[in-house]
Structure 1
């Protein structure tokens, strides 16, 4: 795997509430995480960092090299549950963290399959044969209205409530986690990103930038630059993984 990550506070925010994780060594699972925190007094930064730390720690310690797909999915689900309850309890115990939460989207590559865990409106994409496809569904109000046929995709992009999410880690004692399994092959490109990217750029623009770049690092830099050129209204984090 050839991979990279970039994060930027954008053009408007004074601090960066995003967090991310990359594999820490050849003996560790091929795990990638993006989290986008929310909450006042910089507690969003705390929530996203806790999510990344808890999810990566649990998966790194529980990962089964020869485990089945179902066992891998169960480990991912446990990792999200652990992160959720720790963030939730911290928000109750520390006044400055009250109401904090975070999205979390992760991808774990194993034996020709990628296992995705997802809560919130950060996204996972696959680029294959010149096409881009979103692998996750946004847990947001506008996405719900889109699925109900009450909004069009274009209306979703400019809706005043597009940042209202319906599911996040840490806002309740319990959380539902979306789990997705997908095969991968040589030449596939995977993208994990916060909504600071997808609120600024359409999928086609993201695809064209990635496919037109000379390397994954250059692609990540150009995505950040393009999102900022369009306003950079939020923090922007991207992880790109090329299956080599």
Structure 2
């Protein structure tokens, strides 16, 4: 199977800075979106550090001599280990950075990441927080992740609550994120792909402004992935643009993926404004 990637991030209409970051890494069939938390508590630093950690981890752990910063889980495949270990390492660096800096104390970030198997027949989805992964297949949209948020968890254990009661719950409370503790549990899903699938990663700036049906309509209106990312961001802004919006899209199709193996990773968001040298110094210093 062949995988094609695109990504875009935008500050939105109401925020002063972009606290989202993303990574598209075709050489490793990998992509991620991070949504920094904290505002004045350096959410932009947290998301850029998480993305920088993932980029560094995948760049430096290739081939049979691969070393792992955490114990290899023999119950998981190599790709599943890659996703879990990368996210746990990102959490470790965000947590350590926050402990060393009073200004950045309390910062955190969500993360949602996908890695496709070498032949593209499977996708591994890992996430922490409320950034989402959707799959669009045969004209239907399916959310593959479950939000780690107060609203999501309360409605799961109390499904009898009315919409009005749910609306009274704080909508911005995240129950799991990178940087909250020294280690983190990564929710993992592995599923088969099909030719024609589109996988969409996003920060809540997208799904907070657009319904699933509106997201699906945008997918149906655009054949080109770059255009699709542009359209999704524009429609989120047209709906109010209350938050930063970040979108990564991946299309699976029949064919050989070798032509993308040497492409350089693409990053965007807070990582563009936060000195990447600082990120690498942090990685080297931990």
**Same fold (TM > 0.5):** yes
Cα distance change, pair 204–14 in 1 and its aligned pair in 2 (3 A): same
Verify the 8 A CA contact 1:146 1:156 in the aligned structure 2.
no
**Aligned with 2:18: secondary structure?**
coil
Cα distance change, pair 131–145 in 1 and its aligned pair in 2 (3 A): same
Cα deviation, residue 33, structure 1: 0.5
Which of 13, 18, 21 is the aligned partner of 1:19?
A: 21
Matching of residue 178 in structure 1 with residue 187 in structure 2: yes
Which of 104, 124, 149 is the aligned partner of 1:115?
A: 124
Quote the Cα distance in structure 2 between the aligned partners of 1:3 and 1:12.
28
Verify the 8 A CA contact 1:213 1:219 in the aligned structure 2.
yes
Gaps of 5+ in 1: none
Structure 1 segment 121-200 matched on structure 2, within 5 A? 121-150=130-159, 158-159=167-168, 161-200=170-209
Cα deviation, residue 158, structure 1: 4.8
Cα distance change, pair 155–116 in 1 and its aligned pair in 2 (3 A): farther
Cα deviation, residue 62, structure 1: 2.8
Cα distance change, pair 185–155 in 1 and its aligned pair in 2 (3 A): farther
Q: How many residues align?
A: 240
| Residue of structure 1 equivalent to 2:245 | 236
Cα deviation, residue 3, structure 1: 2.0
Cα distance change, pair 181–228 in 1 and its aligned pair in 2 (3 A): same
**Aligned with 1:54: secondary structure?**
helix
Quote the Cα distance in structure 2 between the aligned partners of 1:165 and 1:34.
16
| Residue of structure 1 equivalent to 2:213 | 204
Cα deviation, residue 150, structure 1: 4.1
Verify the 8 A CA contact 2:37 2:107 in the aligned structure 1.
yes
Cα distance change, pair 230–55 in 1 and its aligned pair in 2 (3 A): same
**Aligned with 1:96: secondary structure?**
coil
Matching of residue 106 in structure 1 with residue 119 in structure 2: no
| Residue of structure 2 equivalent to 1:2 | 4
| Residue of structure 2 equivalent to 1:93 | 100
Matching of residue 36 in structure 1 with residue 35 in structure 2: yes
Cα deviation, residue 135, structure 1: 0.7
Quote the Cα distance in structure 2 between the aligned partners of 1:242 and 1:156.
38
> How high is the TM-score relative to the length of structure 1?
0.91
Cα distance change, pair 157–205 in 1 and its aligned pair in 2 (3 A): farther
Cα distance change, pair 221–49 in 1 and its aligned pair in 2 (3 A): same
Q: Higher relative contact order at CA 8 Å, sep ≥6: structure 1 or structure 2? A: 2
Cα distance change, pair 11–156 in 1 and its aligned pair in 2 (3 A): farther
> How high is the TM-score relative to the length of structure 2?
0.78
Quote the Cα distance in structure 1 between the aligned partners of 2:197 and 2:166.
27
State the superposition RMSD in angstroms.
2.2
**Aligned with 1:175: secondary structure?**
coil
| Residue of structure 2 equivalent to 1:79 | 86
Cα deviation, residue 155, structure 1: 5.6
